[in-house]
Structure 1
Amino acid sequence: MMPKRTTAEWQEIRDQYIPQGVGNGNRNIAKYGRGAELYDIEGERYIDFAGAIGTINVGHAHPEVVKAIQEQAENVIHPGFNVMMYDSYIELAKQLTEITPGEHAKQTILLNSGAEAVENAVKIARKYTKRQAVVTFDRAFHGRTNMTMGMTSKVKPYKFEFGPFAGELYKAPYPYPYRKPDDMSDETYEAFMIEEFERFFLTTVAPESTACVVMEPVQGEGGFIVPPKRFVKYVEEFCKKHGILFVADEIQTGFGRTGAFLASEHFEITPDFVTLSKSLAGGVPLSAVVGRSEVMNEASPGELGGTYAGSPLGCAAALAAIDVIRNENLNERAEVIGEQIEAKGKAWAEKYEWVGEVRRLGAMVAIEIVEDRKTKTPDKMKAAAIAKAANASGVLLLTAGLYGNVVRFLPPLVMTDEQLEEGLEKIASVFDDL
């Protein structure tokens, strides 16, 4: 039984017993959540545009997910799949191979976190190719473990003074259409970025040494950067040409966020591996690597797995969440939500010179905050002020981006039109007060 304390008391205890390195965007204490709303212990209501950093696409405490977890907990909480198998792991592995792109034979391993999924994809790629080099991209984010910190681009707050990192990790250029030279057309810029990608493999690492290229189809922490389809398809083709395994990191983009089960569908690519987590299990810790069978099977028994990897509670929640996405048409709903946020954002851009760009894929929406649209100088302070004021007004909102100047929207896809409109009006009031 939890002791009853005020918010201020909990905050004091938190500061005493939990290190400051664990960040908190909102320092109130969550009590319960339903759909796209959270309530704190003081009874205050919050409209959620953060979605636990994209983890609850099906919403807080979805009844079907809750039911699945309860039923599973009443039977078996955790036998350990490496000790004794259970059907939910096997069924989920089957369904994930069906969801991911491609008609080729695929297999799935289940793990705990997104970073763990990325590490295992690298581990398997190196085992199969007998190569060591791993290529990621500028502005990439793949996790906070030692290897994934090395794969991540942004130094602060993710990497500063935490090294040394694992070796043979390299970062290729990734398009940033908003920040292309003003005198360069979209078509010319796409060709330029492809040439830069080719040059990277001449100046930095040889294709023959590269085990895998790990790419976010839409960069998450990097600022919700949507790359040109032509560039993404070229990366895929380059990997095929040189025997490099192409890994799509769909941890933040998956499970309806972009208006499809996976963002890879928008780019018409078929990755060799897909890494999944976040909204996979409706808020329960779970991750997955789905890959070509001949590659996944390269590892011998015991070389893959983990004590809690693919827990029954997570598997049950994931199977329920997948059903919810299908039955409630959340892929389609994502596009509706995204369109409405984009429309508001463009209206703000007409009103405020410091709204630089509104960009999105589905309901993965970003507003880039700048000092002015002519210079495009990032304004991190204003973006932080927007998020802080939104939280104070009852809207959970986050920032992102290499420069920290991007306001990002990750609302649960079950958000109603009324909640969406109310939340956007509150944010509009924040903008007016700046």
Structure 2
Amino acid sequence: HGNLQSGTLPYDFSRRLLDLAGRQSKLKYAYLTTSGAMANECAMRVCMQKRAPGHRIMAFEHCFMGRSLTMTSVGDNAAARDGLPVNTAVDYIPFWSDAAAAKIGGKTKFIDYALGEVERYATRYPKGHACFVMELIQGEGGFNVPPKEFLEELMKACRRHEIPIWDDEIQAFGRTSQMFAFEHFGLGDYVDVFCVGKMTHACAALWTEDMKPRPGLLSGTFTGSTVDFTVGLSVLDQLENGGFYGDEGLFAQHQAAFRAQAEALVAKHPEWFPKTDDVLSPIGGVGGMMRLTPFGGAKDKIMAAAKAIYAEGAITFWCGHGPFHLRLLPPLPVLKLEEWPRIFAVLERGLAKV
């Protein structure tokens, strides 16, 4: 399927996604892509055209945006840019951290600090920003879950400065207490541009009427295959009708089961979970995004733990830029609640090898 020849499935997928997104947002249009990075590229173009000649990007520290040249320029990971030029001007805003908030004097002071950074950059570059791109819950950055007030105050500041808000949910979509992370936080009215991928198989950039680009900005001869949209439609239907969301939904039950097992493991092996100034709690996450922080978040030990756990029979990965964490993204729609003890037995055997 592409712009020169296409069946009806891309439209069907787009319409379904927009109907779901529009329940609690003003998102009205969609453009389909073959990767999350390309969805982000399209979102950036929409924002830049709207705000031209403003071209700077505000982004959160520790964000991950994808692997294209421009997305590695925006993402806050120097290793991903090794040997590559930086082609985009980015101003980084501190993302929420429980530990950083505690050090600075609490939630209100940390929010004020982040707001001050937004105001500083907006004042330094008047009308110079195309957007503020936000992972509402950071993925690679550490499965960091902020309080609603943190995000909302920054979004209000963006509104004051007419800076479009771009919500990147390529990792968080479908995995929180609601289908969309902006629904989880109740912040859909602030979202101007939105990106989704991975779980949906087909990837997409969405935007509101006010952000509608001029003809010719977005185009592509290949937007995906029939199977992408067929599976994507099935995924959306299952997410809507599977009983996954809400305080009593399956994902909340899995998060509770994960935390119960994690708390038991921490109590059994406190030596694996030392308290540090940077790790206030070894257990974190929301819904299907789960985080465990053994060994004080030391990078070498976290990486060794993930490999040892894999050898024992479970797949984990790491996230964060210091402290580092074990990242769990279990297949919750098919995982049974009674399997969590067996999963943690594997984790325990792997951690014991480090």
TM-score normalised by structure 1 residue count: 0.73
Q: Which residue of 2 aligns with 1:278?
A: 198
The answer to whether the Cα contact below 8 Å between 2:17 and 2:236 also exists between their aligned partners in 1 is no
Q: Which residue of 2 aligns with 1:11?
A: none
The answer to whether the Cα contact below 8 Å between 1:382 and 1:405 also exists between their aligned partners in 2 is no
Count of aligned pairs between the two proteins: 338
Q: Which residue of 2 aligns with 1:191?
A: 112
Q: Which residue of 1 aligns with 2:338?
A: 418
Q: Which residue of 2 aligns with 1:209?
A: 128
Q: Which residue of 2 aligns with 1:143?
A: 66
Following the alignment from structure 2 to structure 1, what is the Cα–Cα distance between the partners of residues 92 and 104?
A: 26
Select the residue among 265, 279, 282 that pairs with 1:348: 265
The answer to whether the Cα contact below 8 Å between 2:261 and 2:341 also exists between their aligned partners in 1 is no
Equivalent AA in structure 1 for residue 263 of structure 2: K
Change in CA separation of 1:219 and 1:340 when aligned onto 2, cut-off 3 Å: same
Q: Which residue of 1 aligns with 2:47?
A: 125
Q: Deviations over 1:50-97 (max 9, x none)?
A: xxxxxxxxxxxxxxxxxxxxxxxxxxxxxx331233221111111111
Select the residue among 243, 250, 268 that pairs with 1:329: 243
Q: Deviations over 1:376-428 (max 9, x none)?
A: xx411111121111100110111111137210110011211233331122112
Task: Please say if 1:291 is aligned against 2:211.
Answer: no
Task: Please say if 1:155 is aligned against 2:74.
Answer: no
Task: Please say if 1:164 is aligned against 2:85.
Answer: yes
Cα deviation for residue 307 of structure 1 reads 2.6
Following the alignment from structure 1 to structure 2, what is the Cα–Cα distance between the partners of residues 427 and 105?
A: 41
Select the residue among 97, 101, 110 that pairs with 1:180: 101
Cα deviation for residue 349 of structure 1 reads 3.1
Task: Please say if 1:115 is aligned against 2:37.
Answer: yes
Following the alignment from structure 1 to structure 2, what is the Cα–Cα distance between the partners of residues 185 and 238?
A: 20
SS of 2:195's equivalent?
Answer: strand
SS of 1:247's equivalent?
Answer: strand
SS of 1:110's equivalent?
Answer: strand
Equivalent AA in structure 2 for residue 269 of structure 1: L
Select the residue among 271, 275, 284 that pairs with 1:359: 284
Following the alignment from structure 2 to structure 1, what is the Cα–Cα distance between the partners of residues 207 and 181?
A: 16
Query: For the pair shown, which has the larger CA radius of gyration, 1 or 2?
Result: 1
Following the alignment from structure 1 to structure 2, what is the Cα–Cα distance between the partners of residues 228 and 192?
A: 15
Q: Which residue of 2 aligns with 1:221?
A: 140
Which ranges of structure 1 fall in alignment gaps of 5 or more residues? Answer: 1-79, 372-377
Cα deviation for residue 207 of structure 1 reads 4.7
Map 1:39-54; keep pairs closer than 5 Å: none
SS of 1:360's equivalent?
Answer: strand
Q: Which residue of 1 aligns with 2:276?
A: none
Q: Which residue of 1 aligns with 2:172?
A: 253
SS of 1:359's equivalent?
Answer: strand
Sequence identity, in percent? 24
Following the alignment from structure 1 to structure 2, what is the Cα–Cα distance between the partners of residues 267 and 238?
A: 17
Cα deviation for residue 353 of structure 1 reads 4.2
Equivalent AA in structure 1 for residue 61 of structure 2: D
Please state which structure has a larger fraction of its residues in helix.
Answer: 2
Cα deviation for residue 433 of structure 1 reads 4.2
Equivalent AA in structure 2 for residue 169 of structure 1: V
Which ranges of structure 2 fall in alignment gaps of 5 or more residues? Answer: 274-278
The answer to whether the Cα contact below 8 Å between 2:122 and 2:129 also exists between their aligned partners in 1 is no
Task: Please say if 1:429 is aligned against 2:346.
Answer: no
Query: RCO greater where, 1 or 2, for CA within 8 Å and sep 6 or more?
Result: 1
Following the alignment from structure 1 to structure 2, what is the Cα–Cα distance between the partners of residues 380 and 225?
A: 17
Cα deviation for residue 126 of structure 1 reads 0.8
Equivalent AA in structure 1 for residue 291 of structure 2: A
Change in CA separation of 1:362 and 1:418 when aligned onto 2, cut-off 3 Å: same
Change in CA separation of 1:115 and 1:105 when aligned onto 2, cut-off 3 Å: closer
Following the alignment from structure 1 to structure 2, what is the Cα–Cα distance between the partners of residues 92 and 192?
A: 41
SS of 1:396's equivalent?
Answer: coil
The answer to whether the Cα contact below 8 Å between 2:317 and 2:328 also exists between their aligned partners in 1 is yes
Cα deviation for residue 181 of structure 1 reads 4.2
TM-score normalised by structure 2 residue count: 0.89
SS of 2:78's equivalent?
Answer: coil
Q: Deviations over 1:107-158 (max 9, x none)?
A: 00100111111111010111122121111111000011111001110212x1
